């Protein structure tokens, strides 16, 4: 076996060189001894931005955020043993949300497996079905050098195939761990651009789709997917249909077809019945709103789903046609074929939705103006509207994503991210850090107190990362979303608080200061607006009451219902 520290260093340097050719720009590394060869190979390449995260779970979610923002996988590195296990929750999220990551876990060589060596566990297929590919790389051997570039290239390409996702390279390193790289194997004569073509629909399928769309009462649901907002909005205008615009879709912009207050509108039973469609065309995944999803399920409408990957979100089995294709191209072809047929179409159906949207937005404004203090819906609406153009908003699961969906009014110039693959609250701070690192643009995080505490290690070293991250924390001293569930009314108050309310009594601003981050205590919307205009990193705490928050939501929905009638 022609193996040595120099061979190992050359192997790792080749992997990194090939990933650079493929387009990798970021690496997230957690400190450790066994991972020295791959960490040094990254550190020796100034073309890669190397980000150090003490906590492996935080590191993995930062890599997730980088790829969510750029579409390009980051290299994710850790040492052996339980360090690799800490990656798992972020990898599960990446799997379900189809986000690419190049995972590199260091490992002991074969002779140290199963003999009680420290920091050694079975890392074979550690992440199971959550990765698109697993490769166990034994200690590097000179005789295998001709395969090293192909290994790196294939892993990168696999992460970006039609169903994107994480790939796992388990690297077995033998001591000594430090060596100098020799001449790298030659680069291959091939394109560095890796892209998976999404197949075009046949003419027969296009005709079948056009026939299905030949209805006056249709509806477009625009979820997060790979498409341009203009494509969908042109199709909506051609059809004369409203667009229920998820804030993550980039279609929630000022436009006559765009409906942002669907959740509030459809809570009114009479209005919901009058607005039932005959056909629904959905792009991407479902909204977060249970009200909207239940209404769609019960509407009886023919439901057509278009995605760019074979993955289908259809928990109620209502999809009658699932098409996998490039959405922009499909919309353009539909517009071209539908223009003549729909030129004289009656737009009274769209008018019904437009009137409901306008009435609801006015009612929401009036309801919030009547509230004496800061409310969670008011903060979400303000954050969504006040952020500068060309900025990013990362929204935690639980109530923040719902409040943004329910109360974020149409605007331009804002890209919204959320970890909705597995819908967990873990790693949200680190995801936002990753987005800010990757984009270099203003990034705001709207998060609840429990989610913040769950990932407080995301703030480690934040003050030294030179990023503009603005953290707005809704602090209601516990799990606010549970107050909306039947458990809140059915259980004894003390039991509910112990199991679901889970008050923590943590001074969040003190926690921020412990990480050398400026903390703000927000008392009103004017203060919030002033703080939001300032460059980060900073943390702003907004104190709310969980019980009152339920009542505020009810009052807003009642006022919307009154305006619709």
Is residue 45's pLDDT more than 90?
yes
SS3 state of residue 519 = strand
Q: Which CATH class is domain 371-564?
A: alpha beta
Q: Is 343's pLDDT higher than 80?
A: no
Question: What are 219-253's pLDDT values in tens digits?
Answer: 999 998 888 999 999 999 999 999 999 999 989 99
Q: What is the mean pLDDT of residues 498-526?
A: 93
CA distances to 232, 247, 389 from 261, rounded to whole Å, are 18, 11, 22
- Highest mean pLDDT pick, 334-338, 466-470, 498-502: 466-470
Q: For residue range 204-216, what is the model confidence (pLDDT) as tens digits?
A: 999 999 999 999 9
In this predicted structure, the answer to whether residue 165 has a pLDDT above a threshold of 60 is: yes
Tokens 């701070």 found at:
429
Q: What is the pLDDT of residue 398?
A: 87
Answer yes or no: same fold for 203-347 and 371-564. Answer: yes
CA distance 2 to 520: 59
pLDDT for res 347: 82
Sign of CA dihedral 265, 269, 273, 276: positive
Across the range 94-98, mean pLDDT stands at 97
State how far the Cα of 12 lies from the Cα of 32, in Å rounded to an integer: 16
User: Is it the case that residue 479 has pLDDT exceeding 90?
Assistant: no
pLDDT for 191 beyond 80? no
Give the pLDDT score at 1.
45
d(CA 21, CA 353): 49
The answer to whether residue 194 scores a pLDDT higher than 90 is no
> For residue 197, what pLDDT is reported?
66
Q: Tell me: the pLDDT tens digits for 352-362?
A: 999 999 999 99
Instruction: Give the architecture-level CATH label for domain 5-172.
Output: 3-Layer(aba) Sandwich (3.40)
For the segment 276-304, the average pLDDT, to the nearest whole number, is: 95
Q: Are 51 and 466 in contact (CB under 8 A)?
A: no
For 288-311, the DSSP string reads S-HHHHHHHHHT--EEEEEESSS-
Q: What is the residue-wise DSSP string for 162-195?
A: SS--EEEEEEE--S-------PPPPPPSS-S---
Give the model's pLDDT for residue 475. 94
Say whether pLDDT at 2 is over 70.
Answer: no
b/e sequence 89-98, b meaning 16+ C-beta within 10 Å? bbbbbbbbbb
What is the pLDDT averaged over residues 314-331? 93
By the 8 A CB rule, do 94 and 65 touch?
A: no
What average pLDDT does the structure give for the chain? 93
Q: Confidence class of residue 342 from pLDDT cuts 50, 70 and 90?
A: low
Whether domain 203-347 has CATH 3.55.40.20: no
User: pLDDT tens digits for 114-164?
Assistant: 898 888 899 999 999 999 999 999 999 999 999 999 999 999 999 999 899
Residue 192, pLDDT score: 52
pTM score: 0.95
Q: For the chain, how are helix, strand and coil distributed in percent, rounded to 5?
A: 45, 15, 40
**Tokens 């699932």, located at residue:** 322
For residues 496 and 47, which has the higher predicted lDDT (pLDDT)?
47
Domains of the chain, by residue range, sit at 5-172, 203-347, 371-564
pLDDT given for residue 490 in this prediction: 87
Mean pLDDT for 424-437 is 97
């Amino acid at each position: 076996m022609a193996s040595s520290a120099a061979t190992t260093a050359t192997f790792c340097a080749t992997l990194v060189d090939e990933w650079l050719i493929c387009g990798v720009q970021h690496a997230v590394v957690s400190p450790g001894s066994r991972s020295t060869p791959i960490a040094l190979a990254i550190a020796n390449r100034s073309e890669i931005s190397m980000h150090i995260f003490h906590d492996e779970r935080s590191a993995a979610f930062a890599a997730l955020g980088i790829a969510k923002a750029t579409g390009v996988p980051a290299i994710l590195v850790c040492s052996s043993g339980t360090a690799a296990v800490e990656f798992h929750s972020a990898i599960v999220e990446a799997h379900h949300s189809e986000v690419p990551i190049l995972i590199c876990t260091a490992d002991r060589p074969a002779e140290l497996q199963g003999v009680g060596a420290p920091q050694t566990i079975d890392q074979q297929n550690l992440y199971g079905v959550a990765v698109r590919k697993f490769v166990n790389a034994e200690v590097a051997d000179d005789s295998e050098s001709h395969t090293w570039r192909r290994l790196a290239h294939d892993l990168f390409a696999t992460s970006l195939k039609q169903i994107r996702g994480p790939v796992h390279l388990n690297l077995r390193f033998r001591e000594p761990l430090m060596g100098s790289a020799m001449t790298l194997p030659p680069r291959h004569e091939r394109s560095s651009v890796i892209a998976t073509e999404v197949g075009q629909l046949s003419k027969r399928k296009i005709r079948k789709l056009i026939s299905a769309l030949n209805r006056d009462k249709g509806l477009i649901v625009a979820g997060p997917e790979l498409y341009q907002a203009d494509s969908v909005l042109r199709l909506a205008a051609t059809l004369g249909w409203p667009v229920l615009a998820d804030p993550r879709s980039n279609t929630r912009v000022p436009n006559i077809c765009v409906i942002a207050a669907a959740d509030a509108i459809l809570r009114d039973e009479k209005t919901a019945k009058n607005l039932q469609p005959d056909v629904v065309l959905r792009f991407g995944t479902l909204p977060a709103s249970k009200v909207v999803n239940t209404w769609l399920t019960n509407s009886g409408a023919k439901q057509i789903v278009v995605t760019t990957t074979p993955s289908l979100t259809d928990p109620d089995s209502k999809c009658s046609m699932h098409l996998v294709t490039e959405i922009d191209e499909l919309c353009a072809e539909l517009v071209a074929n539908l223009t003549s047929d729909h030129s004289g179409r009656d737009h009274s159906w769209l008018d019904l939705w437009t009137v409901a949207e306008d009435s609801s937005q006015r009612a929401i404004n009036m309801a919030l103006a009547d509230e004496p203090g800061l409310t969670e819906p008011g903060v979400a609406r303000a954050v969504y509207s006040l952020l500068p153009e060309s900025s990013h908003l990362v929204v935690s699961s639980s109530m923040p994503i719902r409040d943004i969906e329910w109360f974020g009014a149409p605007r331009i110039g804002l890209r919204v991210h959320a970890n909705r693959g597995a819908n967990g609250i873990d790693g949200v701070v680190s995801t936002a850090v990753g987005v800010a690192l990757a984009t270099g643009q203003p990034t705001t995080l709207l998060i609840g107190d429990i989610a913040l505490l769950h990932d407080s290690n995301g703030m480690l070293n934040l003050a030294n990362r030179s990023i503009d991250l603005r953290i707005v924390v809704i602090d209601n001293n516990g799990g606010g979303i549970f107050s909306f569930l039947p458990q809140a009314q059915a259980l004894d108050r003390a039991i509910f608080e112990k199991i679901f309310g889970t008050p923590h009594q943590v001074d969040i601003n003190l926690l921020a200061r412990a990480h050398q981050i400026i903390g703000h205590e927000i008392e009103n919307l004017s203060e919030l607006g002033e703080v939001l205009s300032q460059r980060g990193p900073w943390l702003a705490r907004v104190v709310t009451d969980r019980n009152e928050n339920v009542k505020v939501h009810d009052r807003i929905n009642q006022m919307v219902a009154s305006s619709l009638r």
